[in-house]
């Protein structure tokens, strides 16, 4: 009989070890699965962040750097803004265009060119007596809208239509 008790005791120990090993493997498997989920989520979020950054860079590039001189390969268009008024030619050629904007007014005034998803204006509008250059690539056969904008409240004070040949 003592042999039977020893065998039974050994079997209990053996089953306890098997159950413990099974629980450990299950517990170890969960963090592994969780780590996989975290890695996948991180990869997805990284892709989303990269797209957001790329979109931001594209928007920043479209914001237009405030230039003081026109690019050599751009067609020059002289523009005068004067406290809400805009004076310029409204029939333009297609291609890279340098709007040379001179503020002859008494207040800071922005100049804006829009069409669909295009909205180009100065980051820092020209103050009284200042001249700045806004580069925009105009597409043939398209119509653009030009605004004189008050930078204090963002109100568009003058509207003109540009016809591009």
Res 58: pLDDT: 47
Question: Average per-residue pLDDT in the chain?
Answer: 79
- DSSP letters, the chain, are -HHHHHHHHHHHHHHHHHHHHHHHHHHHHHHHHHHHHHHHHHHHHHHHHHHHHHHHHHHHHHH---BSS--TTSEEEEEEEETTEEE--SEE-SEEEEEEEEE-SSS--EEEEEETTEEEE-SS---TT-EEEEEEEEPTT-EEEEEEE-TTT--EEEEEEEEE-
Whether pLDDT at 20 is above 80: no
Residue predicted with more confidence, 13 or 129: 129
Res 98: pLDDT: 96
What is the share, in percent, of the chain residues with pLDDT greater than 70?
Answer: 62
Q: Topology of 75-164 in CATH?
A: Immunoglobulin-like (2.60.40)
Q: What is the pLDDT of residues 48-100, one digit of tens each?
A: 655 665 555 544 444 445 678 899 999 999 999 998 789 999 999 999 999 99
């Amino acid at each position: 009989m003592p042999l039977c008790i020893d065998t039974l005791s050994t079997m209990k120990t053996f089953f306890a070890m098997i159950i413990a090993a099974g629980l450990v493997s299950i517990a170890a498997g969960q963090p592994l699965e969780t780590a996989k989920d975290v890695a996948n989520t991180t990869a997805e979020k990284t892709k989303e962040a990269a797209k957001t950054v790329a979109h931001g860079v594209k928007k920043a590039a479209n914001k237009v750097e405030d230039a003081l001189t026109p690019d050599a390969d751009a067609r020059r268009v002289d523009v005068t803004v004067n406290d809400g008024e805009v004076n310029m030619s409204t029939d333009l050629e297609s291609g890279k265009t340098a709007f040379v904007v001179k503020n002859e007014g008494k207040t800071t005034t922005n100049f804006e060119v829009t069409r669909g998803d295009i909205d180009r204006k100065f980051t820092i509008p020209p103050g009284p007596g200042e001249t700045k250059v806004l580069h925009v690539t105009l597409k043939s056969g398209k119509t653009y809208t030009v605004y004189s904008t008050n930078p204090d409240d963002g109100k568009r004070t003058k509207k003109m239509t540009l016809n591009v040949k």
